Amino acid sequence: MKLHREQSSDEAGGAEPGVEPQPCAEEDLGGARITEALAAAELGALPELSATLVRFAAPILAVLPEPPSRADLELAMTYAMVAWNLPLFEQAGLHPELSEAWQDAAPRLAPPVRAIVEGMLRERRTTHRRDPRIANVEVRDGGDGTATVHAEVSLVVRGRPPR
């Protein structure tokens, strides 16, 4: 199954004019914050989140059998969504149950998969720390044996993701 990406046109590109995420409390990463205040123009200039997530998920997608099954793609993109969203939720002090669920589930993952997801979490906290977007990812049928990654976007507003 081939993988494509899409993003809802009403959600693509980010923010309403004048909406500016506020800085969050600092993560213990040498003073680096996962999110920093971005001007609306900068938000609009971010690449489509669906494309970003497909690239972000590359390490986990690379270990899937060829061609990957729909179930494998869904699981891989779920791992990517968790690794993308969890650091932002932790920093904002929201959804502690998600952090607890990850802490409970992580030891049960195969060691190579766990290492990949933990690497993705580090990448989100560093490489993608200025991206304030929260992702809700869904794998959809794209026709002709393809699958499409659809990403719904939410923004961090006033330093906190939407509840």
Q: Could you tell me the CA-to-CA distances from 146 to 2, 54, 87 in Å, in that order? A: 5, 14, 30
Distance separating alpha carbons of residues 111 and 115, to the nearest angstrom: 6
Which residue type, as a one-letter code, is found at position 42? E
Tell if the pTM clears 0.75, that is, is over it. Answer: no
For residues 73 and 64, is the Cβ–Cβ distance under 8 A?
A: yes
pLDDT tens sequence across 105-150: 999 999 999 999 999 999 999 999 888 889 999 999 887 878 888 8
pLDDT tens sequence across 41-72: 677 788 888 889 999 999 999 999 888 888 99
